[in-house]
Amino acid sequence: MKAYVLDAVWAPKPEYQPKEREISDKRAVRGDMVYRDLRAGLKDVPDPAPGPGDVLIRVGACGVCGSDMHAGSAADDGYTNYAGHLKLPVIMGHELSGEVIEAGVNVRKFKPGDLIAVEQMRPCGLCDACKTGFFNSCRNIEEVGLSIDGGFCEYAVVPETYCIDINDIVERLGDKIAAFEAGALAEPTGVAYNGLFVRGKGITPGSNVSVFGAGPIGLASISLARVAGAAKIFAIDVNEERLKLAKLCGADYSVNPAALDGKNDTVSSIVLDQTGGVGCKTVVEAAGAPDSTYPEIVKLMSINANVSAIGRSPRLAPIDLERFIVKGCSLSGSIGTAGNDIIPSVLKLMGSGKLDMRGIITGRYDLSRVQEGIGDAKRGNHGKVMISQFYG
Ligand SMILES: [Zn+2]
Ligand SMILES: [Zn+2]
């Protein structure tokens, strides 16, 4: 079959001491410290064969994520830009859905013809994080498309436990490709769901919400806030194209900090003006720009607000903690989508017609043009770029 494979040379930097397990199975905890001289491209690989507890799927759609762009691009020293788990060679792509074409003998819930979405994160179940229920912080986590084979390909093998039925979505949408796209969008939407409802404090109906960053996670946060009954939703981004998508997802106000003078007109002054001085009870940082967002975030938090930190960055945030203390606010960090019924809940919202994320798809590329699709996504004007062997 055709598959988009990333490969590189295992060459740990002198200052990085890989642990025993990293050396034995070549699964780097920090990809950027170990993998050099990247080679990525579409090639012919053997069709995967399902084990007794696996299903074989024909991949329906697979979204391009920021991690795909980072992993496949090199810094000046030739090392990958991706700082997370990486085991190469790997078939990339982790936001996938598909149709079951074969089920292993021990598979109980799925049969050929079923449409499914795939859970990306595979926690070990044994470490202290897993035992505490914090599966996304698992010390031995495997990630589809980064440490085990993913979805930029024709066929994939998935253990039954990581498959979630989306037959109700195809019934509702009346179209398989539409259902594949919805299923593939469950992963980025799940990241937002985790930040807002699992690690965060949820959304009080009638309260105001600010979302910093209108990439896929921010757009999903806005959509979920709308479904959950937010009063006023503010989208903040420096990219006008993405702000248009934010409105489409249900934002009431779009604010571009680059268009403000930063003195009299600031993000927080606009939000406070529009909320009668109350501010926002839920704030999402999905911009990954903590040095510029947090000084404004602390000013627009309402009493008893929660800030969901989702966007990742090596930079530090200057935070006026006094405001957190005086206003009784909290800050919650979150990562990933494993556990806590996250992906199933997102898919139930989609299946019931309450949530449709397909409006954020702004680029569709056939599998044969996956490289082009990833390159296009890197330009940053997109909501979500989707890859499918069915686009033609
Ligand atoms: Zn993703
Ligand atoms: Zn674990």
Provide Rg for the chain, Cα atoms.
Answer: 21
User: Which ligand neighbours the alpha carbon of 150 most closely?
Assistant: 1
CA of 128 to the centre of ligand 2 (A): 7
Specify the pLDDT at position 185: 98
> What mean pLDDT is reported for the chain?
96
Q: How far is the CA of 340 from the centre of ligand 2 (A)?
A: 15
CA 146 – CA 150 distance, rounded (Å): 7
**Measured in angstroms, how far is the CA atom of residue 67 from the centroid of ligand 1?**
7
Tell whether the model's pLDDT for residue 199 goes beyond 90. yes
Ligand nearest to the CA of 71: 1
62-71, 251-260, 353-362: which range is least confident on average?
62-71
Residue 295's pLDDT band, with cuts at 50, 70 and 90, is very high
Q: Is the pLDDT of residue 313 over 90?
A: no
pLDDT of residue 380: 79
Position 344 pLDDT exceeds 90: yes
Which ligand is located closest to the Cα atom of residue 123? Answer: 2
The residues annotated as belonging to the active site are 67, 70
Least confident of 1-5, 176-180, 316-320: 316-320
324 C-alpha to center of ligand 1: Å? 31
Cα of 76 to ligand 2 centre, how many Å? 34
At residue 165, the pLDDT reads 96
How many Å lie between the centroid of ligand 1 and the Cα of residue 66?
A: 7
Distance in Å, CA 120 to ligand 1 centroid: 8
Q: What protein residues have CB closer than 5 angstroms to ion ligand 2?
A: 123-124, 127, 130, 138
The confidence score (pLDDT) of residue 314 equals: 83
Which ligand ends up closest to the CA of 335? 1
Specify the CATH class of 200-333 in words. alpha beta
Whole-structure pTM value: 0.95
Domain 2-189+337-388 carries which CATH code?
3.90.180.10
- pLDDT for 78 equals 94
Whether pLDDT at 21 is above 90: no
Ligand with an atom nearest the CA of residue 63 = 1
pLDDT per position as a tens digit, 24-48: 888 999 999 999 999 999 999 999 9
Q: For residue range 219-278, list pLDDT tens digits in order.
A: 999 999 999 999 999 999 999 999 999 999 999 999 999 999 988 899 999 999 999 999
Torsion of CA 266, 269, 271, 275, to 10 degrees: -170
Q: Are 94 and 216 in contact (CB under 8 A)?
A: no
Beta pairing, strands 35-44 & 2-10: antiparallel
pLDDT given at position 25: 87
CA of 129 to the centre of ligand 2 (A): 6
* Residue ranges per structural domain of the chain: 2-189+337-388, 200-333
The per-residue pLDDT for 121 is 94
- Burial label, 269 (beta-carbon count in 10 A; 0-12, 13-18, 19+): middle
Question: How far is 53 from 183, CA to CA, in rounded Å?
Answer: 22
pLDDT over threshold 90, residue 392:
no
